[in-house]
Amino acid sequence: MGSVASSRTDQEARIRSIICALRGRGQRLTPQRLAILRTFLDRTDHPSAETILEVVRRDFPAVAPSTVYHMLHALVEMGEAVEVSPATHRARFDPNTHDHCHLVCLACRAIIDVPLEQCHRPIDDSTLLTQHGFQPALRVHQITGLCRACRTAAQPTG
């Protein structure tokens, strides 16, 4: 139970920090934008802007799609979200800003987060980074394929 309370406290601290940063960027924080922020940060399924819009419209029917897109792109610019590579049919966003790996199902479009240390890294990129003088802010490794459910559904029965 303490872990859930701690997680909620961490989430609220992150929301307060993002709100301060958005205000510092001159963004107005309307109730609709706050609902978009909270809805997005509560998700673990890498939602699209359309998914966030659908949820937020339950409480704010007049919210514009552009408001959702602007908020999500502002979060990406601030490093508070990751736009998932276009292996999916529409942009998806991830509130997990820690180094990790995405397993992307080509059939159902599910995106599964896996800690980066559990993903096989075919090359050590430190030489490449040093060679180009590049300092990474985030590492997201992406593997595409079929998830267990889609592989099972595709297997012939008999």
Mean pLDDT for back-to-back runs of 10 residues, the chain (158 residues): 70 93 93 96 92 97 96 93 72 84 81 78 60 66 81 76
| pLDDT the model gives residue 41 | 95
Domain annotation for the chain: domains and CATH numbers = 2-84 (1.10.10.10), 98-154 (3.30.1490.190)
| pLDDT the model gives residue 89 | 67
- Amino acid (1-letter code) at residue 86: P
| pLDDT the model gives residue 118 | 77
CB 93 within 8 A of CB 49: yes
Exposure b/e, 32-53, CB count within 10 A at least 16 = b: bbbbbbebbbeeeebbbbebbb
Does the pTM surpass 0.85? The reply is: no
